[in-house]
Chain A
Amino acid sequence: MNSQIQMTEAPPGVEGQGFFATRLDSVVGLARKNSIWPLPFATSCCGIEFMATMASHYDLARFGSERMSFTPRQADLLMVMGTIAKKMGPVLRQVYEQMAEPRWVIAVGACASSGGIFDTYSVLQGIDLIIPVDVYVPGCPPRPEQIIDGVMRIQDLIGKESIRRRNSEEYKKLMEEYMIK
């Protein structure tokens, strides 16, 4: 056994000869969090820092995100990087609605989180006005290490998510607030 290979921690459970009993949530969460397929919605400067994160120096592929899916139908994580103008709002909303459950959203950069330095008539002051966001990564632009930290927080969220979350009352109320069917 090669001792340099790093294995991820097994969730707590009961082990025996030929079986391992644990909660379904933990196993599904473990599988999901280490194989996220992100959709890079890169609009401006933060997109270039994302390209740096994807390149070989700060490799994001070692976290399981080797395949960037550019179609929302096959993506898990919507990474919104860069300023979203009001003209782009409906496009972003449509892309979010086309994603299948379970889906998560990460707002990378100050412009996506809250409008950034552009407090103007044409910039949407934060994407959480139109879609629900899970993790915000501040910075202008955030360093690749910060983007990776954001992705790791998403991994925490995914690992601990309950299977029944998407059908719960609270989630349905959240979707109703954003008027997403």
Chain B
Amino acid sequence: MKTNLEYKAEFLNPDMPEIPYSTLNLGPTHPATHGIFQNVLKMDGERIISGEQTIGYIHRAFEKIAERRPFYQITVLTDRLNYCSAPINNIGWHLTVEKLLKIEIPKRVDYMRVMVMELARIADHLICNSILGVDTGALTGFTYVYQMREKIYEIYEEICGARLTTNMGRVGGFERDFTPKVFDLTRTFLIEFPKVWRQFENLLSRNRIFMDRTIGTGPISVERALNYGFTGPNLRAAGIDYDIRSSDPYCSYEEFKFDIPVGTTGDTYDRFVVRNEEIWQSLSLVEQAMQKIETCENGIFHADEDRYYLPPKQEVYRNMEALIYHFKIIMGEIEAPKGEVYKAVEGANGELGFYLISDGGRTPYRLHFRRPCFVYYQAFPEMVQGQMLSDAIVIMSSMNVIAGELDS
């Protein structure tokens, strides 16, 4: 056992070899990583030199399961990809199947879908920004803002019955019409939420401590971001206004009026502010969707396609054709054409894509999820190089990596 003086003599010895870098395991179970992924960081004191990532700790083999399930049972799996904003995943999947089956969707269903998707986007950005606050030490924002997420949960419950993993909608529309209570709850939400969000913004956006911690941490240049395949708020914070809702509109987004907030340096503060602004845009979209629903004919909540959407029960008991369709849809034996489809929606984290190869059978031949978190998390070692350890936590939190989406 060496004594203290011996250690000190060794340290001050000029002939001693170079002190090697230290390794720190930002392990799979860590309070600040939102989900389980591991980063082994090589550090020089407090600065990070490089990082090696291990993911796959929650790999649930969605793509393999999807090869054994008929189309309507895969909605349940898509919920659990980005579980903070489950309706966007569900509706994205339904849009993919509708593209494959070439189903026309009525306008009212489109507006209802827009309303639900924008509420989900608000819910996801809420979590991301408030947890960014928690990671820098501001716990108050989280508790105030989470109450609003409970209000969104109430709206989901009224529409589909579940809070988090919603399994919302069907191929061709929704399973039931929106009750008046949904619109009442949404109107109350649209009145109460802006006040809470304004309070949260006042707490953090011009807060000296928060700005010092987040400005300049984890910047990424536009060329590197594009090369890494960034999409969504992370790319918009770097400077490119690419949004699938405007470049390749689906669900009648071309009729809505919204702006796309864009940052400059791609650092953490830009990502925070871009997400804040997107929440304001989503609020305006929800309002516009509700107004547009009122102009439509009442009562339509699904496409008029008996082959793919369950016929109403009165018809099933009277009509032979309806009975056959009901049977076929439940057993999953719908007539899907052979072909392949790629459809992308603007998820809360970026471009959520579904690549579906169908061979005419009841289950997909191959289903691949293009998950935005998986694609942009690769850039994390590059963003973190040269920063300090506490910055690494803040960068990871601002990128909004969700473990369910990372490992499918």
Q: Does A133 contact B (CB under 8 A)?
A: no
- CB pair B29 A118 closer than 8 Å: no
Q: Does A55 contact B (CB under 8 A)?
A: yes
CA distance A120 to B9 in the complex (A): 58
Chain B residues near A51 (CB-CB < 8 A): 127, 146
- CB pair A70 B404 closer than 8 Å: no
Chain A residues near B65 (CB-CB < 8 A): 118, 120
Binds B, one of A9-17, A79-87, A148-156, A165-173: A79-87
- CB pair A44 B146 closer than 8 Å: no
- CB pair B76 A48 closer than 8 Å: no
Contact of A44 among B77, B83, B163 (CB under 8 A): B83
- CB pair B163 A143 closer than 8 Å: yes
Q: Does A117 contact B (CB under 8 A)?
A: yes
- A122 with B164: in contact, given A45-B404, A88-B36 (CB under 8 Å)? no
CA distance A154 to B156 in the complex (A): 31
Chain B residues near A49 (CB-CB < 8 A): 163-164
List the A residue with the shortest CB-CB distance to B404: A44
- CB pair A122 B61 closer than 8 Å: yes
B50-88: CB near A (< 8 Å → 1, else 0) gives 000000111111001100000000001101100110000
CA distance A63 to B28 in the complex (A): 28
- CB pair A52 B76 closer than 8 Å: no
CB distance from B1 to the nearest CB of A (A): 25
- CB pair A56 B143 closer than 8 Å: yes
Chain B residues near A88 (CB-CB < 8 A): 28, 36, 57-58
- CB pair B57 A55 closer than 8 Å: no
Q: Does B165 contact A (CB under 8 A)?
A: yes
Classify chain A's interface size.
Answer: 20 to 34
B116-148: CB near A (< 8 Å → 1, else 0) gives 000000000001000000000000001110110
- CB pair B83 A48 closer than 8 Å: yes
Contact of A52 among B31, B57, B64, B150 (CB under 8 A): B150
Q: Does B368 contact A (CB under 8 A)?
A: no
CA distance A41 to B165 in the complex (A): 19
- CB pair A85 B60 closer than 8 Å: yes
- A91 with B83: in contact, given A55-B146, A56-B143, A117-B76 (CB under 8 Å)? no
CA distance A102 to B147 in the complex (A): 34
- CB pair A120 B147 closer than 8 Å: no
- CB pair B84 A48 closer than 8 Å: yes
Q: Does A121 contact B (CB under 8 A)?
A: yes
- A41 with B147: in contact, given A83-B58, A117-B76, A120-B65 (CB under 8 Å)? no
CB distance from B196 to the nearest CB of A (A): 12
21 sampled A-B residue pairs with Cβ under 8 A: A41-B29, A43-B58, A45-B79, A48-B127, A48-B164, A52-B146, A55-B143, A55-B146, A57-B146, A83-B60, A85-B56, A87-B57, A88-B28, A91-B29, A117-B77, A118-B60, A118-B61, A120-B60, A120-B65, A121-B61, A141-B163
Please report B residues at the A interface, Cβ cutoff 8 Å: 27-31, 35-36, 56-61, 64-65, 76-77, 79-80, 83-84, 127, 142-144, 146-147, 149-150, 153, 163-165, 403-404, 407
Q: A56-B143, A56-B146 are in contact. List 10 more A-B contacts (CB 8 A).
A: A43-B58, A44-B83, A45-B164, A48-B83, A48-B84, A49-B164, A55-B150, A117-B76, A122-B61, A123-B60
